[in-house]
Amino acid sequence: MARRGLLLILSSPSGAGKSTLAQRLMAWDPTLRFSISATTRPPRSAEQDGREYFFRSREAFEAMVSTGDMLEHAEVFGNLYGSPRGPVEAAMKDGRDTLFDIDWQGGQQIRNSALGRDVVSVFVLPPSIAELESRLRGRAQDSEEVIAGRMAKSQSEISHWAEYDYVIVNRDLDQAFAELTTILQAERLKRDRQPDLADFVRGLNSEFGAR
């Protein structure tokens, strides 16, 4: 039966594991569409338009915002970033789900958008703040200054956990992933996401009369 696609939002403080969970989820279900952001920053040497980002001029980006063609957007270090609405709606009509790896501010904007009723939001928490810091240091990618900045920001991010439909505590990655896939499968089976279900049940009822 046909199914209306949903918007799956994953958010967490940096280091809690949302990007790893997003990558595993995409590998688990290749039909998932990952939301590619638009940005006004210039492309780097190996980047391609429509693959890493949709690269747009500031004028074109701001026009999309003014016409409601951007589900969420923010300015970061002088460049605009956002989630275009068109590809998401096209995926929904095809029965495909779109995965967003975004922060609480972006998630809030999407929940308040015209597609808000199609959102399923999941917040990922670390098992402890000490473990969160340990994971950030374990990456061996950031300076002490960057790690300190991420840790300072994490308290504000965690304060928005109650705005989400589901919360996963990432004590163990395999268990957290199992919980995430359970959430997605249950949400896909909701009655209002299966528009052909009423016709299917009418067909079942008609079979009683044919007996």
User: pLDDT 10s digit of each residue in the chain, 211 long?
Assistant: 678 899 999 999 988 999 899 999 999 999 999 999 999 999 988 899 988 899 999 999 999 999 999 999 999 878 999 999 999 999 999 999 999 999 999 999 999 998 999 999 999 999 999 999 888 888 766 788 888 888 988 999 999 999 999 999 999 999 999 999 999 999 999 998 888 899 999 999 999 987 7
- CATH code at 75? 3.40.50.300
Taking the C-alpha atoms of 87, 89, 93 and 99 in order, what is their torsion angle to the nearest 10 degrees? Answer: 70
Position 57 in a domain: yes
State CA 81 to chain mean position distance.
Answer: 15
pLDDT at 76: 81
Domain of residue 57 covers 7-193
Helix or strand holding residue 188 (H, E): helix 173-188
Position 22 in a domain: yes
Position 207 in a domain: no
Position 211 in a domain: no
pLDDT at 44: 87
Counting every residue written for the chain, the total comes to 211
Integer angstrom CA distances of residue 99 from 13, 156, 166, 203 = 17, 23, 15, 34
Position 206 in a domain: no
Position 200 in a domain: no
| Residues in a beta bridge with 101 | 10
Domain count of the chain? 1
pLDDT at 176: 98
